[in-house]
Homo-oligomer: A and B are copies of this chain.
Amino acid sequence: MVVSARTPEQCAAVVMETIPPVMRFIRTEMRRHGAPGLSMPQFRALGFVDRCPGASLSAVADHLGVTLSTASVIADRLVRHGLIARAPHPTERRRITLTLTPAGSLLLQQARQATRSKVAAMLDGLSSEQLQTIAEGVTLLNDAFRGALASKKREANDDVVE
């Protein structure tokens, strides 16, 4: 495997070629072995509520990068399945707070572990140097995208101000 991508354009081409199949694989494996009936967005929403108990719907939407309405629908399904609970916010009556139910907490832990094992199994033959390269690469990538997103949001806010 030889890769040479020293310009943003070249690197972008490689990223666009490699990320979608990997993502699809993760999603498929998760559904099949990890958490049947738990989709990737649901999984991520659950994880977010786990890390931020009492989070608002807007916070979830922000984290997932989706609209409020989409987040509302996803939350709906998680509530219907008994995995999270809505509750009124103590002071701000527009808001709701989201928390995991015991069932949601358990399912999340199981799903997390099962999926991680599946992904780890895919990486089993690699050397620790290769694993390190992967971890550094995807982290750099993620950071770059987060940074760019943040700039865009600042721009958007500037637009509003202007």
Using a CB–CB distance below 8 Å, which chain A residues touch chain B? 1, 3-26, 28, 40, 44, 64-65, 115-117, 119-126, 128, 130-149
Residues of B within 8 A of A137 (CB): 133-138, 140-141
Number of copies: 2
Given A120-B9, A121-B8: A21 and B142 within 8 A (CB)?
yes
Give the complex CA separation of A145 and B97 in angstroms. Answer: 38
Q: List 5 A-B contacts (CB under 8 A).
A: A3-B136, A5-B132, A12-B122, A18-B141, A25-B145
- With both chains docked as a complex, state the minimum distance between the C-beta of A99 and any C-beta of chain B, in angstroms: 22
Residues of B within 8 A of A40 (CB): 20
Give the complex CA separation of A19 and B136 in angstroms. Answer: 12
Given A3-B136, A18-B141, A137-B135: A123 and B11 within 8 A (CB)?
yes
